[in-house]
């Protein structure tokens, strides 16, 4: 256990390399004309979001494995993130309260922060972090479906459909072979169902973010998503009568890293979705599994074999096709 904790602590420091990127983006206080990012900027934002979300899943599971209550962890995480955002907003941005942003951000935040957090934190109680992140990879498919319903003006080309299908083939291959090593423990039906609900929230939130976020600054949009999320989380915490838990130094550091990783991921995601299509941003969900499975193997001693590499090949081909379509228009 000590050795595992020491290894986990080693990945914590790496997340701080992205902190300055996150802060510099969040502290933008002027609205600027939104231009399509360069290819390198888009890929960089996708990688930051994928690595930070994938690492966050592993950090969460490591804390749950050690007996940290899932409700306590979710409430602590969203409260700390919200506090950082509120401080940044009131100290540096200082805008007047706007009811329109509040309504749109609250609806989006309910899906992108609150619901996703609860579904996945409970799913991690029953299935491995690797399996959770693999299920997340189906989000681009449902993002396309929600786009058809809620954002009809954003067209989906044939190449986009092929890219979505290619990425999902890689994930489907893992389950068909039944040799991933990710299904050996836990309650696959309950954990998988919870994760599937979380995937729907991710897909819907991606579309809602694409619809509303371009109108606002990154920091403003993120901040307005959190008031109701914090209230709902604290309410659930009180309803379930969860007692505060004593955290070790290692656990405190990992909680801090979890906050940094989530802030970095949401900032990169929001910055990108204000500038490119929802399906391009949804390609993040294909990379998160690779990060999650790899980190789960390295830091949590979860199972792994070559089938994951085969899946990764399909996923990267999908990402390349999606990116080519985005930047050829």
Q: Where are the domains of the chain?
A: 37-328
DSSP single-letter state for residue 19: H
Q: Which of the residue ranges 43-52, 125-134, 180-189 would you say has the lowest mean pLDDT?
A: 180-189
> What is the rounded average pLDDT of the residues 286-310?
76
Contact 109, 229 (CB under 8 A): yes
In this predicted structure, the answer to whether residue 84 has a pLDDT above a threshold of 70 is: yes
Euclidean distance between CA atoms 258 and 245, whole angstroms: 17
pLDDT for 82: 95
pLDDT for 83: 95
CA dist 92 → 10, 220, 245 (Å): 32, 11, 33
Is the pTM higher than 0.75? The answer reads: yes
Contact 270, 222 (CB under 8 A): yes
Q: What is the DSSP string of 35-51?
A: -PPPHHHHHHHHHHHHH
Q: Which of the residue ranges 17-31, 66-80, 186-200 would you say has the lowest mean pLDDT?
A: 17-31
**Percent of the chain whose predicted confidence (pLDDT) is above 70:** 82
Count CB-CB contacts under 10 A for residue 175. Answer: 16
- Closest Cα to residue 8, out of 219, 243, 236, 253? 253
pLDDT in tens, 169-182: 877 776 666 544 55
Kindly indicate the confidence band of residue 161, based on its pLDDT and cuts at 50, 70 and 90. confident
Contact 239, 175 (CB under 8 A): no
pLDDT for 40: 87
pLDDT for 283: 79
Instruction: Considering only residues 287 and 91, tell me which one the structure prediction assigns the higher pLDDT.
Output: 91
Euclidean distance between CA atoms 147 and 155, whole angstroms: 9
In this predicted structure, the answer to whether residue 17 has a pLDDT above a threshold of 60 is: no
């Amino acid at each position: 256990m000590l050795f595992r904790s020491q290894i986990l602590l080693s990945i914590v420091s790496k997340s701080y390399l992205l902190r300055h990127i996150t802060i510099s983006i969040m502290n933008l206080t002027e609205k600027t004309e939104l231009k399509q990012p360069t290819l390198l900027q888009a890929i960089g934002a996708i990688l930051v979001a994928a690595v930070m979300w994938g690492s966050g899943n592993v950090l969460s599971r490591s804390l749950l494995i050690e007996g940290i209550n899932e409700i306590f962890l979710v409430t602590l995480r969203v409260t700390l993130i919200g506090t950082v955002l509120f401080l940044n907003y009131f100290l540096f941005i200082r805008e007047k309260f706007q009811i329109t942003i509040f309504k749109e951000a609250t609806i989006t935040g309910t899906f992108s922060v609150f619901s996703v957090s609860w579904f996945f934190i409970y799913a991690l109680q029953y299935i491995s972090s690797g399996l959770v992140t693999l299920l997340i990879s189906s989000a681009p498919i449902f993002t396309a479906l929600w786009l058809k319903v809620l954002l009809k003006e954003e067209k989906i080309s044939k190449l986009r459909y092929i890219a979505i299908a290619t990425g999902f083939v890689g994930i489907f291959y893992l389950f068909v072979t039944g040799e991933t090593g990710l299904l050996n423990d836990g309650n696959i039906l309950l954990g998988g169902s919870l994760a599937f609900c979380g995937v729907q929230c991710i897909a819907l939130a991606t579309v809602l973010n694409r619809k509303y976020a371009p109108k606002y600054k990154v920091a403003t949009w993120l901040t307005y998503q959190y008031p109701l999320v914090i209230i709902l989380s604290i309410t659930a915490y009180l309803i379930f009568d969860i007692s505060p838990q004593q955290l070790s130094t290692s656990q405190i550091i990992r909680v801090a890293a979890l906050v940094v990783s989530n802030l970095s991921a949401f900032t990169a995601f929001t910055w990108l979705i204000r500038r490119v299509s929802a399906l391009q941003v949804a390609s993040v969900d294909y990379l998160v599994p690779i990060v999650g499975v790899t980190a789960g193997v390295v830091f949590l001693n979860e199972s792994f074999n070559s089938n994951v590499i085969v899946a990764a090949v399909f996923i990267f081909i999908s990402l390349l096709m999606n990116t080519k379509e985005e930047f050829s228009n």
